[in-house]
Amino acid sequence: MKQLSKRLTYANVMSSIAVFLVLGGGAAFAANQLGKNTVGPKQLKKNAVTAAKIKNSAVTAAKIQNGAITGAKVNLGSLGTVPAADKATTAETAKSANTANTANTANTANSASTAGTVNGQTVVKIFTLIPNGSTDQTIASFAGFTIKGDCTGSNVANLVLNPPNETTDLKAFGNGNEEPFFSHAQEGESAELSEENDRGETSFSAATLSGAVISGNLGYEDPDSFVDTEACAFYGQVLVTA
Element (H, E) at 16: helix 10-20
Residue 118 pLDDT > 50, yes or no?
Answer: yes
Of all residues in the chain, the percent with pLDDT exceeding 70 is 70
Q: 188 Cβ partners below 8 Å, 6+ apart?
A: 163, 165, 166, 167, 168
Q: Furthest-apart CA pair in the chain: how many Å? A: 150
Output the pLDDT for position 17.
63
pTM: 0.54
Residue 128 pLDDT > 90, yes or no?
Answer: yes
pLDDT in tens, 196-208: 999 999 999 999 9
Output the pLDDT for position 170.
97
State the average pLDDT over residues 129-135: 94
Lowest mean pLDDT among 1-15, 37-51, 183-197, 220-234: 1-15
Output the pLDDT for position 61.
80
Of all residues in the chain, the percent with pLDDT exceeding 90 is 45
Residue 22 pLDDT > 90, yes or no?
Answer: no
State the average pLDDT over residues 169-179: 96
pLDDT in tens, 29-68: 555 566 777 777 777 788 777 878 788 887 888 888 887 7
Residue 105 pLDDT > 60, yes or no?
Answer: no
Output the pLDDT for position 85.
52
Output the pLDDT for position 5.
53
CA–CA gap between residue 206 and residue 208 (Å, rounded): 7
Q: 168 Cβ partners below 8 Å, 6+ apart?
A: 185, 186, 187, 188, 206, 207, 208, 209
pLDDT in tens, 67-95: 778 877 777 777 766 555 555 444 444 44
State the average pLDDT over residues 162-179: 96
Across the chain, the runs of DSSP E, i.e. the strands, are 117-118, 121-131, 134-142, 145-152, 155-162, 168-176, 181-186, 191-192, 200-208, 213-221, 231-241
User: Residue 27 phi/psi, 5° resolution?
Assistant: -65, -40
**Taking all residues of the chain, what is their mean pLDDT, rounded to a whole number?**
78
CA–CA gap between residue 158 and residue 135 (Å, rounded): 9
* Confidence at 98, pLDDT banded by 50, 70, 90: very low
Residue 6 pLDDT > 80, yes or no?
Answer: no
User: Residue 180 phi/psi, 5° resolution?
Assistant: -75, 160
Residue 146 pLDDT > 90, yes or no?
Answer: yes
